[in-house]
Amino acid sequence: MNSPSSPAVRRQIQSDICIVGNGAIAKTAALGFAQSGQRVTLLSPASAPSAAPADQSWDVRVYALNHTAHHLLSSLRVWGALDMARVAPVDAMLVNGDGAQAGNLAFDAYGAHTGTLAWIVEDRNLNQALDAALRFAQNVTVVEGRASKLLRDADGATVQLDDGSSIQAALVVGADGAQSWVRGQCDIGLDYRPYGQNAVVANFACERPHHGAAQQWFTGADGIVALLPLPGNQVSLVWSAPDAFAGTLQGESASQLAQRLAPYAQEKLGALTPLQPELVRQFPLQLLRPHAMTSDRVALVGDAAHVVHPLAGHGMNLGFADVAELVKCVSAREPQRGIGDERVLARYARARKEDVLLMQVATDGLARLFGTELEPLRVVRNLGLNLLDKLPVLKRRLISHALGKLN
């Protein structure tokens, strides 16, 4: 990998693919295309190099990575670079309804005929492994700077930077998040709806072992509580709470938050104790549906292409599946077709349409259904959980989709 260019030096860079973004999806896309033999330029904002904190505290931002993500990261030799002492396998998932007649739904690895359902990985751990892989990657140039204009014609695309530099490529990949600059340059329409919720996150030690089980409670008025297993007797909280209530939670200490969690966690996990330092963060939740995943010479991946409610924990997994499919479509194109050929990009969009739509509909529908306090709907949703738990065929299909296994 070439070292980051100085933003003070104007450069004209020739590349097969320009990837815009600095998160895990952008870095994975750069590695994937480079491994397939493409010359890649990764354009990201200038930032100070990240380093592990001296106290090795647990990152409050974690992801539940499924088998698709595991397969992709393993093929890129990133999975082996993770600090596995900080990765927790998820062996079971317990979903709890609300009210006196609360329904329940349980998944486990044994019933899914797999070794594990998912893996909980910290954002910092994942990005450090990706950065390490990028340092040894061939055909990858990292450019630090800010894009100012995207020009496209029959011959390719040019990303102009605000320092006068430019990157010429056959394909531009927008991996720059929900507020994607690349998507905005393409004038792609957008359906947007805030959920009126924030995800409140924090980490805790638990009195009793979690046995690799992730637990989720639909509480109705207070939102959705999820406790995800971390290594040892520790869990990571993701509480999708209504805006006003999330503000209250954010204003409290982690110890007060632990007390609020007692009614949910006490029975199986015992008392919760905040991990040091007592960090509580929140992130706004929204539904974002761009009208297209591609445009002339452009493909969108990750949050630039779709943002879903985190109740199923699959936002990051959708992004990894995007990357895997886009690399596959570009690599499998006919010899006469260029990297940014419209038919190649159309194949990518078609291949991802069903998976993305299904996850959008499922997460949005569940968020709406479990967000209402109407008693008839409360009864129906709890009955639905209990019924689904007793239908093994449908249950296995849901598990298989969630695992993201590649056929």
pLDDT tens for 138-179 read 999 999 999 999 999 999 999 999 999 999 999 999 999 999
Q: What percent of the chain has pLDDT over 70?
A: 83
CA-CA distances (angstroms) from residue 227 to 28, 56, 118, 170, 218? 27, 21, 14, 44, 12
User: Residue 141: which CATH number?
Assistant: 3.50.50.60
41-96 pLDDT, tens per residue?
999 987 655 555 555 789 999 999 999 999 999 999 999 999 999 999 999 988 88
Q: What pLDDT does residue 56 have?
A: 73
Distance, in Å, from the CA atom of 300 to the CA atom of 40, rounded to the nearest integer, reads 16
First to last CA, the chain: 32
Instruction: Tell me, yes or no, whether 325 lies in a domain.
Output: yes
pLDDT digits (tens, 9 = 90+) for 236-270: 999 999 999 999 999 998 999 999 999 999 999 99
- CA dist 305 and 307 (Å) reads 7
Model confidence pLDDT, tens digit, residues 120-129: 999 999 999 9
Residue 151 maps to a domain: yes
Domain hosting 15: range is 2-49+126-191+286-366
- Predicted confidence at residue 47, as pLDDT, reads 65
Query: For residues 42 and 137, is the Cβ–Cβ distance under 8 A?
Result: no
Question: Does residue 402 lie in a domain region?
Answer: no
Q: Distance (Å, rounded) from C-alpha 66 to C-alpha 392? A: 21
More confident: 83 or 98: 83
CB 285 within 8 A of CB 223: no
Is 308 within a domain? yes
Has residue 380 been placed in a domain? no
**Dist CA 200 CA 60 (whole Å):** 10
Rounded average pLDDT over 280-308: 96
Domain annotation covers residue 338: yes
CA-nearest of 82, 68, 67 to 126 is 82
Structural domain includes residue 376: no
More confident position, 106 or 334: 334
Q: Which residue has tokens 């380093």?
A: 51
- Residue 234 CA to residue 23 CA, distance in Å, equals 26
In a domain, residue 342? The reply is yes
Confidence of residue 220 (pLDDT cuts 50, 70, 90): confident
Nearest by Cα to 305 from 186, 402, 183: 183
Q: What is the pLDDT of residue 104?
A: 74
- Number of domains within the chain: 1
